[in-house]
Structure 1
Amino acid sequence: MAAHGLRGLAAMMVLLAHILGGTAKHIYAQNDAYVQGIAGAWALGTFGVELFFIISGYVILPSAMRYGAQQFALRRFLRLYPLFFVLSLLFIVLNAITNAYPALNSTKAVISGLLFINLFTGTEQLTPNAWSLTYEVIFYLLMYGIVYFTVHHRNRAGAAVAILVGLSFLLTHPIAIYFVIGAAIRLASARPWRWPIPARGLELASLIAMIAFASRGHFEYSWSDFADPVLVPIILSAGLYFHCAVQPGSLTARALDNPLFRYLGTVSYSLYLVHPYSYYGIRRIFD
């Protein structure tokens, strides 16, 4: 399945971005040629997080529709929290010793991070790259709330409230659009599409466009960022590419159908959480 291989690819993209970005910021900051030379790859690598969000939207929707609330919550908890908790404790201990991130040594930051409420308390998530997990958890809750009232227990009032809450979160955190894109692609995949150009040609064209646009810079996805003419094309090309990639027989499915990417897809979550410790080591080697 292309989505599985893309998950592993996205994890490697983020790892590469942190290696390049870390060396550019902390070691070779005075070397303009290096900093400018890796800028595109650095920006493209950080886009792996947005790719993760699309994949989550794509795979979580059918899970929410299939399972009851208790089973869905248990499956998501066991998939996400145990490893996150262990590595968060490791970070808390190391940060208490080194004080590398003073703002994260407070009780408020620690509790908010462990409970995934840091977006609402104004603190950072624990460990440098775990910020995206808060978005994941909130998406799980919002998605299941909408599915619960529209599929499992049809209730117009409940569905309206769930949708309004979801829209309000999207309006305050526009980066969540990638989850919506993934879910929309899952719904669209239920019916065949006929494109005016060959599907593989469209897949290749949208992939090239996504790489070209996503390499132009890193965005925080505040509403002011949408004034940049590159941001909307990034979103559109990413959605079109992923839609093409998950079709049977796609170029992406064929390229990623090998033991390496099947393995990376399987360990992608572990790799994503562990890799900060890896790139700190690699940074020392560069230094």
Structure 2
Amino acid sequence: MTLSDTALIPAGTGDTTAAPGPGAGTGAGTGTKQGRGGQRLYALDGLRLLAALSVLFFHYLSRGGEASDAWGQPSREILPSVTPFTDYGWLGVEFFFLISGFVICMSAWGRGLGQFFRSRITRLYPAYWAAIVLLSVATAVFPVLAHRPDVHRVLLNLTMLHEPLGTPAVSGVFWSLWVELRFYLLFALVVWRGVTYRSTVAFCCLWTVGTVITHAANDRLLNNLLVPTYSAYFIAGIGFYLIHRFGSHAMAWGIVGVSWLIAQETVLAETERFSKIIHADLSGGVASAVVTACFVVMAGVALGWFRHLNWRRLTFAGTLTYPLYLVHESLGHLMIYGLHDHLSPATTVAATTVAMLVLAWLLHVLAEKPLARRLKRTLERPLPSSGIGRRANAQPPS
């Protein structure tokens, strides 16, 4: 082993194989099952729900479009005292990506490529399919805020490949799933080679360099492949997991630090974009501060600041997050449309939020869990043999 090899590995990690470690074995549920020492990282479950709620309130009280149509007036005028906070709720998606980098690295440790893809498919698609069916039916029955989606559009949405093919999404929030899918495909290269400290660090460094080159070249192919607007969050999440698993080390902290610097740059451009979307003068300084706070919180998770936060109800919060994210926008706006003439704005928002949480739980219990079990059993079945080998070795007929 050369000096350059050992420089990548913290002392005492023994990172010579991709054997399962304490971060392996994460199920297809919340994706936050175990951390160092086999302890469940309950804090991540709570943080994911917090991120989802921040996006929810942004869509209900700050975002125009469907939100304004639902209220019958500009949504930012409904509760103006809270809009200085909800205006930055879109940053919850960036926080999702930061957590995702941590969780995916943790859940992929010690897994093969087949296990990795099976776990991601059973995690992403069951709730997503159920949400598309529910949203399509709701839009068909109550076409007041959106047009009825045609069959081709719905079917293509089921694949989660509608965005690169230029087909409109059934719900606006689905755009982030294509970002997640590209991260999974990129990280699959690490899983294919074997997830070790060295391979993970090399992946982070190469992706960071690719991100910088993409920004400089402004190449469409690289931009679609390397996701430069959000890559820093995934990379930082991976760096935080390396710190959590192996302890503080200059290389892992360097990955996090460079990713934070890149995120500070990309979030400024995103702030300008969202200023135009919601017709408000958003502050790049505030957005940068929020992103920095997200990094600090994840540093706390990595360093074990929240290890005593073992409220088991946070696990329940984690199960609600994904279904809530999928259905809150379209169905929430539909509910606001029906309630706002009869209730006060604050009561309407509160009732809609509670209803979406209950719906998320029902979606998880009645659709996501049973579908995930069936899909998992299907994917774990051995592939049928072609029989070519048997025919080649068979004795010729007498």
Per the TM alignment, residue 173 of structure 1 is displaced from its structure 2 partner at its CA by 4.4
Q: Is the 8 A contact 2:244 2:304 kept in 1?
A: no
Answering whether residue 150 of structure 2 is matched by residue 105 of structure 1, we say yes
Matched with 2:340 is 286
Distance 1:145-1:20 versus aligned 2 partners, 3 A rule: same
- Looking at structure 1, the residues matched to 154 and 182 of structure 2 have their Cα atoms a distance apart, in angstroms, of 18
Per the TM alignment, residue 141 of structure 1 is displaced from its structure 2 partner at its CA by 1.4
Q: SS at 1:174's partner residue?
A: coil
Distance 1:140-1:65 versus aligned 2 partners, 3 A rule: same
Per the TM alignment, residue 81 of structure 1 is displaced from its structure 2 partner at its CA by 0.6
Matched with 2:68 is 25
Distance 1:64-1:32 versus aligned 2 partners, 3 A rule: closer
Quote the RMSD (CA, aligned, Å).
4.1
Distance 1:257-1:270 versus aligned 2 partners, 3 A rule: same
| 1:140-199 deviations in Å (ceiling 9; x for gaps) | 1111123323648x99xxx79x959974347554123222221121123234449xxxxx
Answering whether residue 126 of structure 2 is matched by residue 71 of structure 1, we say no
Calculate the TM-score normalised by the size of structure 2: 0.53
- Looking at structure 1, the residues matched to 225 and 287 of structure 2 have their Cα atoms a distance apart, in angstroms, of 16
Answering whether residue 179 of structure 2 is matched by residue 135 of structure 1, we say yes
Gaps (5+ residues) in structure 1?
Answer: 195-209, 222-226
Matched with 1:174 is 229
Answering whether residue 110 of structure 2 is matched by residue 56 of structure 1, we say no
Larger radius of gyration, structure 1 or 2? 2
Matched with 2:38 is none
Letter of the 2:318 partner, please give it. G
Letter of the 2:68 partner, please give it. K
Q: Is the 8 A contact 2:76 2:83 kept in 1?
A: no
| 1:69-104 deviations in Å (ceiling 9; x for gaps) | 112111111111112112212333444565554495
Matched with 1:8 is 49
Pairing 1:231-270 to 2, within 5 Å after superposition: 232-250=288-306, 257-270=310-323
Distance 1:164-1:234 versus aligned 2 partners, 3 A rule: closer
Letter of the 1:267 partner, please give it. L
Q: Is the 8 A contact 2:98 2:237 kept in 1?
A: yes
- Looking at structure 2, the residues matched to 20 and 101 of structure 1 have their Cα atoms a distance apart, in angstroms, of 19
- Looking at structure 1, the residues matched to 121 and 333 of structure 2 have their Cα atoms a distance apart, in angstroms, of 27
Q: Is the 8 A contact 2:113 2:191 kept in 1?
A: no
Which structure has the highest helix share of the two? 1
Q: Is the 8 A contact 1:58 1:182 kept in 2?
A: yes
- Looking at structure 1, the residues matched to 210 and 125 of structure 2 have their Cα atoms a distance apart, in angstroms, of 23
| Percent identity of equivalent pairs | 28
Letter of the 2:299 partner, please give it. H
- Looking at structure 1, the residues matched to 292 and 225 of structure 2 have their Cα atoms a distance apart, in angstroms, of 17
Gaps (5+ residues) in structure 2?
Answer: 1-40, 212-221, 250-263, 276-282, 342-398
- Looking at structure 2, the residues matched to 130 and 73 of structure 1 have their Cα atoms a distance apart, in angstroms, of 20
Answering whether residue 152 of structure 2 is matched by residue 116 of structure 1, we say no
Letter of the 1:105 partner, please give it. D
Distance 1:22-1:8 versus aligned 2 partners, 3 A rule: same
- Looking at structure 1, the residues matched to 99 and 116 of structure 2 have their Cα atoms a distance apart, in angstroms, of 17
| 1:6-35 deviations in Å (ceiling 9; x for gaps) | 112222222233332369623263587546
Calculate the TM-score normalised by the size of structure 1: 0.70
Distance 1:166-1:147 versus aligned 2 partners, 3 A rule: farther
Pairing 1:133-212 to 2, within 5 Å after superposition: 133-149=177-193, 151=195, 167=211, 168=222, 169=224, 172-193=227-248
Q: Is the 8 A contact 1:118 1:125 kept in 2?
A: yes
Per the TM alignment, residue 268 of structure 1 is displaced from its structure 2 partner at its CA by 1.4
